[in-house]
Amino acid sequence: MKSFAIAAALVLGLSVSGQAAAADIEVVNPFMRAAPMTGGTGAAFLTIHNHGGADRLLAAEAGISKSVELHTHVKDGDIYRMRKVESLALPEHGTVELKPGGDHIMFIGLNAPVKEGAAVQLTLKFEKAGAVVVQVPVQAAGAMAPGAAMPGGMMHKH
């Protein structure tokens, strides 16, 4: 069954799921923070399990904002600042965690407020695995971890 699932994912090129898998990429625990301002920014976080060879996350796309960037935090004196990065490396059979205070996906110029309880469709573009579509649940504005503010039964935990 497992080989069939992988073959199907390869044929489709992408799948729509909270734990999307294209080829060897598995995305789990996605969440986004509610963002109140049209024209403002928002951030999403998720964990990527790479079950194959080394790959790179090259870009993210979503219809909710003018642009979407890959960001990291860098230490500047005593302050951590966000900085755009061109890609995020995925080690062979490795896991990359995008989380508050570290790497994240940044939405710039929101078309509308992003409300808690909604879901945002996000397309991740990988160098080798191609496109992976993830449904990202929107949590409270200050959420630090997936599921922390989600209603019961809506979590995708593994």
Compute the distance between CA of residue 84 and CA of residue 19 in angstroms, rounded to an integer.
25
CA distances from 115 to 1, 37, 42, 63, 112 (A): 38, 10, 11, 15, 9
CB of 39 to Cu ion, least distance (A): 16
In this structure, are strands 130-139 and 21-22 parallel, antiparallel, or unpaired?
unpaired
Q: Which of 82, 131, 133, 140 contacts Cu ion by CB under 5 A?
A: 82
**Comparison of 33 and 71: residue with beta carbon closer to Cu ion:** 71
Q: Does 106 bind Cu ion (CB under 5 A)?
A: yes
Compute the distance between CA of residue 48 and CA of residue 98 in angstroms, rounded to an integer.
8
CB of 41 to Cu ion, least distance (A): 7
Q: Does 85 bind Cu ion (CB under 5 A)?
A: no
Q: Which of 31, 35, 71, 146 contacts Cu ion by CB under 5 A?
A: 71
Q: Does 27 bind Cu ion (CB under 5 A)?
A: no
Phi, psi of 9 (to 5 degrees): -65, -35
CB of 7 to Cu ion, least distance (A): 37
Compute the distance between CA of residue 33 and CA of residue 137 in angstroms, rounded to an integer.
9
CB of 108 to Cu ion, least distance (A): 8
Sites of contact with Cu ion (CB under 5 A): 71, 82, 106
